Amino acid sequence: MDNLMCLGYAVAGYIRYWLLNSDYKQTIGDRVEISSPLNSWRKVTEGAYLYSEGINPYLGENFHETPLGLFVFHKMISNIPQLTGFIFIVCDLITAHVLYHTAQLFMSELFSRQMREKEKYAKDAETLLLKQSDLVLPPVYVASAYLFNPYIIFSCISQTTTVFANLCLAFTFLLMIKGKRLACCSVLALATLQSLYPVILLVPASIYIAKAESRRSLRCSSFILTAVTFITALHLLLYISLKLAGGWEFLHATHGFILNVPDLQPNVGLFWYFFTEMFENFRLLFICAFQINATVLYLIPLTLRFHGEPMLLATSLTALTAIFKSYPTLGDVGFYLALLPMWKHLFKYMQQGFVVGCSFLSTSVMGPVVWHLWIYSRSANANFYFGVTLAFATAQIFLVTDILFAYIKREFSLFHGLHREVNGKTTKLVLE
């Protein structure tokens, strides 16, 4: 298996290397689905250039990275410009490997929990149980889904900073499952500083870390401690950023930009056309509504429902933010798609796999087509592209709700058996 994985990394690395040095790089990097104002390499280059010219890049509208990022990218561009592409590839491979580890740990955790709770399961649920052999493949699938997903490959060769955001997220997942509070909070703080939305992962992370606590009485204090650690780490990073940037303007250009959505360049999300067509006096109201929808709206109910499975909670929250955030890209979508094979045992409960798969495929093809019709041949208009992004978002929503529903159904079957007959009558599973 290890040999197979090594081969996988090598092939994935080579594909990225080849594309990075091909003519497709520019074409792919210019795609709005891949590069948003927040993550595009063009803007990073501009920021680093302004910084080297002694102009504060946060004065303008063209740079939205954190001062930490600015510092690193500036060093990278000015000292090792020929290695930048290489760094992106390596980071992507590391992400895949971290996810592979995460999946391995998660599978063994899943198995041990199953062993623990086996007595409570219904008698005829034997067939549903995971066997030792079921645990081997999902991690490989997770890594492969990251390594060979075209969304991820494109996002890597376009040199979007989503690559680093995904690396931070992957480490958050790994350290979360390992229960390492300080490291996990630090990485999460870094991810939060960069793209704000990962802040909600603090909840599943603190649940995980609290679970590792042996004594029940200490769990409450564990939550508080995790939150405090996270806040301290975030403040430390903010302080470093402040020192690097020499002022607070960067907050307006990064988090302010994410929250206020001033740039309406189309992307795969729902914000751009909605706020293009919004009546000015309702803008603030809907900005608040949409941002709440992307962050805390589902946080509490999902936490209450899935606190027993914090990994699923974390994945679904990541997926929901990837759908509803202000500047989503395919790199974010690819990241949560790569996590899904961890729930391979749920797939047989999913009902909309075909619909979702077809929608992903058709929207991925139609997106560039209608974009070209609108922007280049001017024979279509914005509504076409908007329609495609709507379909893409809908497909993703179906996917997320489907996997959560599959989890609920499997849990039900585990505890209530596979029999669907009550008093000799055929029955149906319904939510009531």
- Under the rule (CB under 8 A), what is the footprint of another protein? 30, 42, 45-46, 49-50, 53, 55, 57, 59-62, 262-266, 270, 272-280, 290, 293, 297-298, 301-302, 304-305, 320, 323-324, 374-376, 378, 381-383, 386, 390, 393-394, 397-398, 400-401, 404-405, 408-409, 412, 416, 420, 422, 425-432
Q: Are 172 and 188 in contact (CB under 8 A)?
A: yes
Question: Could you tell me the smallest distance in angstroms from the CB atom of residue 7 to another protein?
Answer: 38
Complex with another protein: residue 21 or 265, whichever CB lies closer: 265
Residue 180 or 409 with smaller CB distance to another protein: 409
State how far Cα 341 lies from the chain centre: 14
Give yes or no for a contact between 56 and 249, defined as CB atoms under 8 angstroms apart. yes
Minimum distance, C-beta of residue 411 to another protein, in the bound complex (Å): 8
CB of 106 vs another protein, minimal distance in Å: 22
Residue number, 354 or 376, with CB nearest to another protein:
376
- Provide, rounded to whole angstroms, the least separation between the CB of residue 418 and another protein: 11
> Residue 398 Cβ, how far from another protein at the closest point, in Å?
8
d(CA 65, CA 47): 8
Token pair, residue 19, equals 């594309």
Element (H, E) at 422: strand 421-422
**Which is nearer to another protein, 236 or 429 (by Cβ)?**
429
Amino acid at 355: V
Q: How far is the CB of 222 from another protein (least distance, A)?
A: 24
What single string gives the DSSP state of each residue in 312-342?
HHHHHHHHHHHHHSSS--HHHHHHHHHHGGG
Distance of CA 182 to the CA centre of its chain: 21
Write out the two tokens for 110.
């899943």
- A 10 A CB-CB count for 285 gives 10
- How many CB atoms are located within 10 Å of the residue 111 CB? 16
Report the candidate in 250, 240, 244, 165 with the shortest Cα–Cα distance to residue 199: 165
Nearer to another protein, 362 or 401 (CB): 401
Q: How far is the CB of 272 from another protein (least distance, A)?
A: 7
- Of the pair 50, 167, the CB lying nearest another protein is at 50
Looking at the Cβ atoms of 32 and 168, the one nearer to another protein is 32
